[in-house]
Amino acid sequence: MFGLNKKDTRLMWIVITMVVFAPFILNPFPETSGMAQFNAGYPDLMQRFVIFGIFAIGFNILFGLTGYLSFGHAAFLGIGSYAAIWMMKLLTMNVIPAIIVSIVVAGLISLVIGWISLRRSGIYFSILTLCFAMMAYALAYSVLTPITGGETGLQPKLNDPRIFDAPLAAGASPKANLFGLQMGATYELKLGGWLFVINAGYYIAGLLMLAAFYLSIRIFRSPFGMMLRAVKSNQQRVNYTGLNSKPYTLAAFVISGMYAGLAGGLLVAMDTQAGAERMFWTASGEVVLMTILGGVGTLIGPVLGAGFIKYMENIVSKINSKVLHEWFAFLPDGMEDFLVAVFYPFVGKGWHLTLGLLFMMIVIFLPGGLMEGGQKIADKFRNKKKNDKDDSAQAAATPAE
């Protein structure tokens, strides 16, 4: 399919199925069930799954293929957001120009930052990218406030020029749209006790994620991707062959920055505001965690890692003491209070503790991330099936006495 081999085509179809049926897959429990709080099929969260999946896919092209660990990729996420919001303020609320400009501007900035940072490698490269990201955050937060809005951020206003849009009626608020289809447009489907929300913005973001995922597969399987793997394996040997690896690593850095810019533009398309917090160093650390949790250098791993962290952030963080008391209400009071006291530090505001423990376990027992765990499970089933076939063949070959 579209130049992919059989294995990659199968993987592509799996991702397409997951994106299309996510509103149903992520809502396994009826609305009236006590387990409904674990449902993740509402538009805001599904949009974040695919948008940060794009962010992690792009980061994996740099880190997974070249081994260059950037701690400053959130700068391109924020730059893409600011570029998109200004397109909505100056040109049109149609998301197409906003997304295109966010990719282009993020690519140009990443070209400059990458050209400087890639003069060093290893930890020195990582520190340089972190420094650039923090400088970008400082500029956005306090220096370039007429352009960025400072700590309050930017959002479209009624009196913005928007030269390609018709004037809005008094009291109306500008809405992001795709040729008239608003990003927030939803359709609710009720089936028994289940409620499924079909959101236009999610499917638009999902379509772009599928395109980004397909492009990453082509990059991974191309001679360009092979060259990046050679750089990761031993850059010094590559240089000894007479090949200049710098243009390849710079290209990977720019492509990765453009992915981040696309994610930033989509964040604005779904929620029309941009702020400096998207450029803070913790946002850069988050995409590193996503990639490592999912599996560095794998195709679908970073998407799974992004979904895992965003699920923890939005679902586990909502579990408070009241919910815990409801869970253990069937127990005697003393036992109920004891279990609530045990579990409370790991949920709600303490969800980072749970994430940290899970991250430690994955790094220790599954260095290849969630993808390694999936492969081990698949290998066990495969080996079991093979052993069953061997036993059957042996039994068939043994003559009856």
Tokens for 135?
């400088």
Task: Output the tens digit of pLDDT for each of the chain's 401 residues.
Answer: 678 888 999 999 999 999 999 999 999 988 888 788 888 989 999 999 999 999 999 999 999 999 999 999 999 999 999 999 999 999 999 999 999 999 999 999 999 999 999 999 889 999 999 999 999 999 999 899 999 998 889 999 988 899 988 888 777 889 999 998 999 999 998 888 888 999 999 999 999 999 999 999 999 999 999 999 999 988 888 888 888 889 999 999 999 999 999 999 999 999 889 999 989 888 999 999 999 999 998 989 999 999 999 999 999 888 888 888 888 888 888 898 999 999 899 998 889 899 899 889 988 888 888 888 888 888 888 777 777 676 666 666 655 44
- Is residue 190 classed as helix, strand or coil in its secondary structure? strand
The one-letter amino acid at 54: I
Domains parsed from the chain with CATH numbers: 6-273 (1.10.3470)
Number of Cβ atoms within 10 Å of the Cβ of 268: 28
What are the CA-CA distances from residue 213 to residues 16, 50, 52, 164, 389 (Å)? 10, 10, 12, 32, 37
Nearest CA among 126, 135, 133, 106 for reference residue 256: 106
| Tokens 């069937």, located at residue | 330
Amino acid identity, position 69: L
Q: How far apart are CA 58 and CA 64, in angstroms?
A: 10
CA dihedral for 265, 267, 271, 277, sign (positive or negative): negative
Q: What is the DSSP string of 10-54?
A: HHHHHHHHHHHTHHHHT--S-TTSGGGGG---SHHHHHHHHHHHH
Residue that has been written with the tokens 């951020």 in this structure: 153
> Taking the CA atoms of the chain, what radius of gyration do you get in angstroms?
24
Length of the chain: 401
